[in-house]
Amino acid sequence: MAVITLPYKYLERLTRTDKKTILEKVPLIGSDVERIEEDHADVEFFPDRPDLFSPEGVARAMRGYLGIETGLPSYPVKPSGIKFTVDPQLAEIRPILGAAVIRGVKFDDESIQSIMSLQESLHWAVGRGRSKVAIGIHDMDTVRPPFHYIASPRSRGFIPLDFTGKMTMDEILEKHPKGRDYAKIVKDFPLFPLIVDDDDHVLSFPPIINGERTRVTIDTKNILLDTTGTDKRAVSVAVNIICTAMAEAGATIESVEIGGVQTPTLAPAERVVSATECSRILGVDLTPATMSEFLRKMRFGAEPAGADKVKVQVPCYRADIMHDWDLFEDVAIAYGYDKLESHPPKTFTVGKPHPVQASVVLAREAFTGLGYLEVMPFTLTNEDVLYKRMQRPETKGVLHVIHPISIENTVVRTELLPLLLEFLTINRHRELPQRLFTVGDVVLDCRTHQQAAGVSTHPDADLSEAYATTDAVLHELSIDYTVSESADPAFIDGRRGDIMVNGIKVGVFGEIHPAVLLAFELEHSVAAFEFDLRAVPGYPVL
């Protein structure tokens, strides 16, 4: 999520209304006001609306929403006459270039900060951490066009931003903080992307760092924007958002020529949508005229086109409009979620629990009837708890997560019993007897099923208690079982039994082995059992 700083004075000037109105209404276009400070507010916007990641963008949207200025904002672009060449060797490295000239900027500390944080937010939301899009902003009066986007030897040097000495690009990846942060995007390429002017001065080493030479300061009047990346649409969105935000702040935008094409155009996209379909989705009655009005409030150009259709002009900065329904959401926002008629649908349906629940509910009932207390352990655990402490070999089909958060959570549980013993460890200081059970998912070979397990600990817990409890629960669940000698090393030899159904082992019960007790730091004997709920008649085949 992007949290945007909105200085009140600047925002009020741009929006042409007071901050109280803005702060009250800004959540209604889709945001959370995080903090209200003396001179500014921090507001969080959603990642699908990078056009709102600047005070200029927020002001533009709020003017529409509040009815101060509606419809499509216009951003005239005239050619700057400046050209960019693109080295064909970049095709495999970082092929896409977008650029623009922004003239007549008037910076102060706040607006420089604002453009820098817009750049950072775009790197995150549109640029996927600079891999898809990276943006450079330069003081254009320090360099001489035409500009060249080239694939350069890695040994080439220049003075990177915030440094005083010349460094090679290889050194930058190693020593510059930004170089270290983003090295992984380029480090495997034999040549590195580089933007230079006609005198071979370095403007930028995208997506890593700009040159110190073109640093933007409070005195900068004219800006050259470079945007490089791997995705054409994303690069163009980033250019459009920055250019229109700067235009909102009073600058004029000029295009540059890249490969014979003038860019950017800042022209809207067109879409024709149906008012009937919009009404059907939202559950309100809309005519093309009323729908157009709502869309204009959201800064779209919109005109009725016939009995059902609306012709919509989508501003160039609205990257999120991929589908007609994206426009319908804007209609709903303009209409007001609080005004939408909300009632449940009328179709008759019958509720139906999942068949697995029948076994689960009855197992719970049997356990609680026997005085067992339910616990709900985590499903992520580790080999030490599941196997080593239990003296058991690793269960076949156990799944290991590739990047665990900690050594505590490396595998998905294949049994429940070890987790119950862990529970007894946590509750060592609590009054005995303790009788605990759990019913829940275990995973083997990517397949999930339910098991049930119980433990009872007190000085007299023994095989006969484990056997009797197992028998009681299995009987309640109509599991027709037999018992054979078990070899499960978690239990004491001669005090353990395998639960068999139709010749297949479905569970085990017995007295926990003293070595296992000690491994779980337990001092009293434990009668325990676990069985597979798939043995319950009627358990569904999934």
Instruction: Show contacts with other proteins in window 31-60 (CB under 8 A).
Output: 46-49
Per-residue binding string, other proteins, 239-278, x by CB under 8 A, is --------------------------------x-x-----
Q: Minimum Å distance from CB 124 to other proteins? A: 8
Strand 373-374 vs strand 269-274: parallel, antiparallel, or unpaired? unpaired
Report 405-434 residues binding other proteins (CB under 8 A).
405-406, 409, 412, 423, 426-427, 430, 434
Nearer to other proteins, 138 or 435 (CB): 435
Residue 224 carries which side chain, given as an amino acid letter? L
Nearer to other proteins, 221 or 309 (CB): 309
Site stretch for other proteins (CB under 8 A), options 99-107, 236-244, 250-258, 440-448: 440-448
CA atoms within 13 A of residue 288's CA, in its CB half-sphere: 15
C-beta atoms surrounding 298 within 10 Å: 21
Q: Look up residue 311 and give its two tokens.
A: 């012709």
Nearer to other proteins, 372 or 387 (CB): 372
Report 69-128 residues binding other proteins (CB under 8 A).
128
Within 8 A by CB and 6+ apart from 117, the residues are 4, 5, 53, 54
Q: Minimum Å distance from CB 370 to other proteins? A: 6
Q: Which of 88, 217, 219, 347 binds other proteins (CB under 8 A)?
A: 347
Site stretch for other proteins (CB under 8 A), options 12-20, 70-78, 171-179, 394-402: 394-402
Q: Which of 4, 11, 22, 29 binds other proteins (CB under 8 A)?
A: 29
Closest CA to 517 of 528, 509, 531, 506: 528
Per-residue binding string, other proteins, 479-518, x by CB under 8 A, is ----------------------------------------
Within 8 A by CB and 6+ apart from 133, the residues are 122, 123, 126, 127, 207, 227, 228, 229, 231, 234, 235, 238
Q: Which of 76, 165, 260, 351 binds other proteins (CB under 8 A)?
A: 351
Residue found under tokens 């490089």 = 228
Nearer to other proteins, 271 or 505 (CB): 271
Indicate left, alpha or beta for 209 from its phi (over 0: left) and psi (-120 to 50: alpha): beta
SS3 state of residue 43: strand
Q: Minimum Å distance from CB 17 to other proteins? A: 20
Distances (CA, A) of 87 to 149, 157, 194, 259: 6, 19, 10, 10
SS3 state of residue 519: helix
Q: Which of 403, 485, 503, 541 binds other proteins (CB under 8 A)?
A: 403
**Number of residues near other proteins (by CB under 8 A):** 86
Residue found under tokens 């950072």 = 120
Distances (CA, A) of 292 to 18, 74, 311, 326: 27, 18, 8, 14
